[in-house]
Amino acid sequence: MIRGLIFKFFFYTGTILICLIFIPALILPQKIMLLGGRLLGHWIKFCLIIFLSVKIEIKGKENIPENSNFLIASLHQSLFETFFLQVVFNSPIFILKKELLRIPIFGWHLKKIGSISIDRNKISKENLGFYEKIIDVTKRTKRPLIIFPQATRTEINDRQPFKKGVSKIYEKLSFICVPVALNSGSVWPKSGRLISNKIITISILEKIPVGLNSEDFLRKLENQLYHELEKIV
């Protein structure tokens, strides 16, 4: 419990400081703010190693496409992947809920790095142009796109069905999809205290090619990710 409190103190204090340091980057070229995002990824790794004696293992790096326009579909169990996957995939574009952009300072940073938001509770004019915005941003930036198909953080043993939004994006964009399974919830569960002396495994799985219909894609993605999760829990 003490180690968890120490971790939280240093992690959150450092995160706030990094965000404050990079406030001037809000008026500078986007690549400066992207550097800040990767720095946060390295910071969370450092804190986990130093304060919780956690090891981080990345499997399947060879499955990362050389082509920069691809879709990453990752499991979501903690804040860890939100920060660290910026390092693994070199600053992907996040699709996230609109509420996150309203958080002072942190939300400003998310907007500056090109995150794309959607209001999940209503159909708005902004939502209607959602796919066009994704196509425009990915073409201009040549960065991969990342989405959490569970739509929220889940417990590590939760196997809830994926949201259909990820299949719609796959179908509309005609991007190959790289599934990412992870077990960060074994260290940083959605509810409960932090756990030390564990291994966080990130498994980058074989890509799903374009051309599947939305139902087949969603079924394949869900099967691949949950099957891999069983191996690394």
Enter the pTM of the model: 0.90
pLDDT, position 107: 83
Question: What are the pLDDT digits (tens) for 32-52?
Answer: 999 999 999 999 999 999 999
Counted domains in the chain:
1
Question: What are the pLDDT digits (tens) for 74-124?
Answer: 999 999 999 999 999 988 998 887 787 788 877 888 888 888 877 655 544
Question: What are the pLDDT digits (tens) for 136-189?
Answer: 888 788 889 999 999 889 999 999 899 888 998 898 888 999 999 999 999 999
Q: Could you tell me which residues come within 8 angstroms of residue 219 by beta carbon, excluding any fewer than 6 positions away?
A: none
pLDDT, position 124: 45
Q: Which CATH number is 29's domain given?
A: 3.40.1130
Terminal CA-CA length for the chain? 22
**Partners of residue 74 on adjacent β-strands:** 180
The pLDDT of residue 217 is above 90:
yes
Whole-number Å distance between alpha carbons of 233 and 226: 10
- Read off the pLDDT band of 128 (50, 70, 90): low
Sheet holding 177-182, edge to edge: 55-59, 199-204, 177-182, 71-74, 145-147, 93-97, 116-118
Assess contact for 169 and 131: CB atoms under 8 A. yes
**What is the domain range of residue 11?**
2-232
